[in-house]
Amino acid sequence: MSPQSLFVATLDGQDEHDLKKFLFDGMQDTEIAIKLPKEVTDLKKIHLWELPTSSKNLSLWNMIKKGDWCIFSLNKRYILAGKLVYKLQKKGHFTLIKNMTKFGKNELVMFFAKISPINLGFSGTNRELGFSSTFTKMHKINFLKCDDEPVAKLIRKYGSLEAFLQITPKNKQVSYKKSINYLPKDVEEPPKQVRVDLLRKIRDTVKTKKMKKIYDNRCQICNVSLRISDNANYSEVHHVWPLGEGGIDDFDNMVVLCPNHHAQFDFASIGFDNKNPEIIIDMYGNPIGKISFKKIHRLKTENVVHHAKKMRMIWD
């Protein structure tokens, strides 16, 4: 396991002002309304970022530790990287920054020892991190943990995460405007419908390939198989208990799905009926269809239970 973990946060144009003020430029110690540890106040600037409170973010919050890196993407490029020095969790409303009410509405705040401009392409970087990029109008993924295996592989390949992220002393001198000079002019007024990036983990391992072969690349719920070439069909393997949340990469934690049903499972908007796991229900408990299983494949009860708990936490 890598001694350092890597997390990603996806932002949109509406975050740009806060990104510059609080994360890139940073705050003075005198601007902070609460007492922080010396390791934070000793920094020349206090670079911070807030996370929306959700069950998924809380789960990841317990994983991130001092010394881990978080990289931030905006407009389909990774533009900033920060090394965590401290994290703050507060219950309820609290004032974090003097004369401001915006920060402190959520309870999860990350403090970074330094923020470095980076300039990494979205698709290529995602492939190296073990992610693929799909698009949805449903939600935005605010926070996601990279698996330890690809991170360890990157460290072996590049020597360090800093080298992979192309962080050098010169990066510290780059201005904010220069670091995001690729942003379109209309970013200040986003369209009514904003296209958002959803990061999904790639699992083209021996096990996932075998699962797809067992089901002939057909969704276990709708039986759809997407034709992508004259001799190839496409399907996706979903981990019922996500690996980023502590799930096991094994057959009894996998189902083969089409992209639509995969996205619904990711957002816990569909799941398994408590009385009959072969019945698929929506977030309100209404049956919407069945999921079929081959004789050689069954899900482990604890994985089904984990997904059911997630649905209750989000929708109850």
pLDDT in tens, 11-43: 766 566 777 888 888 888 888 888 888 888 888
Tell me the mean pLDDT in the region 62-83: 88
Work out the percent of the chain whose per-residue pLDDT is above 90.
27
Q: Output the average pLDDT for the chain.
A: 79
Per-residue pLDDT of 228-257, as tens digits, reads 888 889 999 999 998 878 888 899 999 999
Tell me the mean pLDDT in the region 152-171: 77
Domain ranges of the chain: 6-199, 203-315
pLDDT at residue 101, as a whole number:
57
0.75 surpassed by pTM = no
Tell me the mean pLDDT in the region 173-186: 43
Query: Three-state secondary structure along 47-110?
Result: EEEEECCCHHHHHHHCCCCCCCEEEEEECCEEEEEEEEEEEEECCCCCCCECCCCCCCCCCEEE
pLDDT at residue 41, as a whole number:
85
pLDDT at residue 62, as a whole number:
87
Band of the pLDDT at 191, cuts 50, 70, 90?
A: very low
Q: Compute the distance between CA of residue 249 and CA of residue 258 in angstroms, rounded to an integer.
A: 19
